[in-house]
Amino acid sequence: MPDHPLPDRLTSDQLTRGDATRPAARRRGLWLGLAALVPLLAGAGLWLALRPAPPAPLPTTSPLAAAVEPPPALTVGLIPVRRLALRRPAIGDGSVTAWQELVIGTETGGLRVVEVGFEEGDAVRQGQVLVRLDPALPAAQLAQAEAAEAEAEAALRIAEADLRRSTELARTESVARQTLEQRQSATRQAAARLAAARARREEAAARLAQTRILAPSDGIVSRRSVLPGAVVQPGQEMLRLIRDGRLELDARVPELDLAGIAPGQAARVFHGEREIPARVRAVAPVVAGDTRLGIVHLTLPPDSGLRPGMFARGEITPPAAAPVLAVPQEAVVFRNGAPVVFVLAEGAEHVEARRIATGLRQDGQVEVVSGLAEGERVVATGAGFLSEGDRVALAR
């Protein structure tokens, strides 16, 4: 309960005095706010009046403006687009083989091997003794044939002497005609027996010579299949010889590339990291029906270091073609899956990304089919780090 009881309602005089005082209070508050705002506006105007004017923009050609421009993104090397004679080589792979592998065997049989004068990989000369067979039996047969020949020669001499005497007596008719004819026939028989004896002697001499197996030409022994003590049979293989030590690569080349290949063309053979000069010896006249590949025989130099059976790759250089526009391979980069080069115009500092169409590639050079003109300068060093419009500096 309040200490001072409130009146039940305001009197009419009180209500009249309250309504009259409210507009006056509002006016007094408005004037007080305006009075406080005036100094603030005056201070702001004074600050704007006293603020120094901003400096005028510097001309773009002034040294100060150049110093504000960003530094070059990269120092690059340039190379002009030029014309080169690029040639697309025909590529094939295959095995290293002997130019001619001679299979050497024996012509006689039943004889024992007494000496083998070589090892696999040895170089031999024409006429060198490779294998020696036991000559005892052929030598005895030769001696027997020589004795038979001497006997036939003696019989022939006796028959010729009898014929001469009969011929002289026939002139005086002291001998019968029949006797003369018999002695003539005996002489011819003795001559035939002598010829047969000489043939048997030559046969025995040949059999004796067959006990010494000689190298038919210079070469390298690639395989030995006989050992001392073995008894050989006629036609048995004894060794294989790489004729003259010459090796070649039988490169399998696609059929569409064979038309541009001819004997004598230069080629290169690659075995691992090694590159070996070679030359086309011949092109096989037949193409394999299942693979559509033809064989190109590439002659290898004597110091190639390759061995038969090794696998290698060959590149056959075609004849010279018309020059085409080309740029170094390191100048071509890929942006969004397409080949691009960065071109720097004469006097410019910002590179332009130029999309090109490429063709042949050879020895680090790439043919430019479209997108560049001869003489334009492209970035050859550092192109992979550039973007369109980058500012660059030239390497000194």
Domain of 185: which CATH number?
A: 1.10.287.470
Last residue of a domain, one of 173, 193, 214: 214
User: Tens digits of per-residue pLDDT, 11-52?
Assistant: 444 434 444 445 555 566 566 655 666 566 655 555 555 555
Instruction: Tell me whether residue 357 is in a domain.
Output: yes
Residue 297, both tokens: 């025989």
37 inside domain: no
Which comes out higher in pLDDT, residue 209 or 162?
209
Examine residue 38 and state whether it is found in any structural domain, yes or no: no
Q: Are 253 and 316 in contact (CB under 8 A)?
A: yes
Residue 229 belongs to some domain of the structure: no
Weakest-pLDDT range from 25-29, 100-104, 215-219, 352-356: 25-29
Query: Based on the structure, what is the number of domains in the chain?
Result: 3
**94 lies in the same domain as 109:** no
Residue 370 domain-assigned (yes or no): yes
Band (193; pLDDT cuts 50, 70, 90): very high
At 44 the pLDDT is: 58
* Overall average pLDDT of the 61-80 stretch: 67
Last residue in a domain, options 316, 336, 355:
316
Q: How far apart are CA 215 and CA 241, in angstroms?
A: 8
Predicted model pTM: 0.56
Q: What is the DSSP letter of 120?
A: T
Q: For residue 329, is pLDDT > 80? A: yes
Are 348 and 253 part of one and the same domain? Answer: no
Are 253 and 184 members of one domain?
no
Domain that includes residue 143, residue range? 101-214
The residue type found at 171 is: R
Q: Using a pLDDT cut of 90, give the percent of the chain over it.
A: 54
Residues 204 and 108 in one domain: yes
* 301 and 342, same domain (yes or no): no
Residue 249 — pLDDT band, cuts 50, 70, 90? very high
Pair 274, 374 in one domain: no
Residue whose pair of structure tokens reads 């001619």 in the numeric block: 100
* pLDDT tens figures, 256-314: 889 889 999 999 999 999 999 999 999 999 999 899 999 999 999 998 989 999 999 99
Q: According to the model, what pLDDT value does residue 387 have?
A: 87
> Is the residue at 63 inside a domain?
no
Which pLDDT value is given to residue 32? 61
Are 310 and 330 part of one and the same domain? no
Q: How far is CA 203 from CA 52, 139, 144, 195, 279, in A?
A: 131, 11, 11, 12, 46
Both 204 and 271 in one domain: the answer is no
pLDDT at 354: 92
CA gap 373, 334 in Å, rounded: 20
Give the residue from 193, 214, 235 where a domain finishes.
Answer: 214
For residue 333, what are the contacts with CB-CB under 8 A and spacing of at least 6?
339, 340, 341, 342, 383, 384
Instruction: Report if residue 256 sits inside a domain.
Output: yes
Q: Which of 358, 362, 359 is nearest to 317 (CA)?
A: 362
| C-alpha distances out from residue 319 to 48, 218, 234, 280, Å | 84, 35, 51, 13
Residues 311 and 326 grouped into a single domain: no
- Residue 256 is part of a domain; what is its CATH number? 2.40.30.170
The answer on 348 and 285 residing in a single domain is no
pLDDT of residue 75: 84
Q: Are residues 202 and 114 in the same domain?
A: yes
Which range, of 2-16, 35-49, 56-70, 94-108, averages the lowest pLDDT? Answer: 2-16
Same domain, 309 and 326: no
Find out whether 243 and 98 touch, Cβ atoms under 8 Å.
Answer: yes
Question: Which residues lie closer than 8 Å to 374 by C-beta, 6 or more apart?
Answer: 80, 81, 82, 83, 325
**165 within domain boundaries:** yes
